[in-house]
Amino acid sequence: MAQWTHRGVALLFCMAVFCGCLGAQTEKTITIRMLDGKTGKLIETSNYLVRVDHEQTVHANWVVQNEDGTGKLTLPGGASAFSIHATYDSAMYIYVNCDSATRKANPADHWYGVSEILTAGVVAPNGCRNPKDAAKIRPISKPGEFVFFVRKLNALEQFAED
């Protein structure tokens, strides 16, 4: 009887390991580039707020900063869309996304399709740039890459935040 118990425990252990491996394989990884909306320069930070599939839950620890300053976002396998916001960088600049720059008070969330990003890459709209500078800032995204623009809050907006 003890032999069957050991086999059962071993079988359960193997199933748990196998299911864990399947879960790890189904995660989706996206490279994120956060650019200054006026200059197009990369902003290095790991302070992001991520929401998935229109849920209210905010995931502040799903993005890890890569050595090159980009971010690595790991999403659950079933995720179909996400919304992302930068919060601040190491110099404590507070950012607002440029895909909703026209709405300064309570900006709308923009949702981006995970499958589109994984297959073709996506560059979010840049509502922060001056139209005459539009030709200067034209990043290209690769499959698996999401590029979005931010700007620093101005002094009046920061005062209103406090």
Q: What is the pLDDT of residues 92-121, one digit of tens each?
A: 678 888 887 554 555 677 899 999 999 999
Q: Where are the beta strands (DSSP E) in 4-159?
A: 28-36, 48-52, 63-65, 71-75, 81-86, 95-97, 112-113, 122-123, 145-152
Mean pLDDT for 130-156 is 80
CB-based contacts of 159, cutoff 8 Å, min separation 6: none
- pLDDT surpasses 90 at 148: yes
Structure tokens at 45: 């930070």
- pLDDT surpasses 70 at 159: no
Could you tell me if 23 and 55 are in contact, meaning their C-beta atoms sit under 8 angstroms apart?
no
CB-based contacts of 47, cutoff 8 Å, min separation 6: 60, 86, 87, 88, 89
Residues 85-98 have pLDDT tens digits of 887 765 667 888 88
Could you tell me if 27 and 77 are in contact, meaning their C-beta atoms sit under 8 angstroms apart?
yes
Q: How confident is the model at residue 23 (pLDDT cuts 50, 70, 90)?
A: very low
Q: Which of 146, 162, 27, 151 is nearest to 84 (CA)?
A: 146
Distances (CA, A) of 87 to 34, 57, 103, 132: 11, 16, 17, 28
> What does the pLDDT read at residue 110?
87
If one compares 50 and 14, the residue with the highest pLDDT of the two is: 50
Matching CATH number, 27-161, of 3.40.50.300, 3.40.50.1950, 2.60.40.10, 3.40.50.1360 = 2.60.40.10
- pLDDT surpasses 50 at 140: yes
Pairing of strands 145-152, 28-36: parallel
Report how far residue 54's alpha carbon sits from residue 100's, in angstroms, rounded to the nearest whole number.
Answer: 17
The CB density around residue 150, as the number of other CB atoms within 10 Å, is 27
pTM: 0.75
Q: What residues does each domain of the chain span?
A: 27-161
Please name the amino acid found at residue 162. Answer: D
Please name the amino acid found at residue 109. Answer: D
Report how far residue 130's alpha carbon sits from residue 143's, in angstroms, rounded to the nearest whole number.
Answer: 28
Mean pLDDT of the residues in the chain: 78
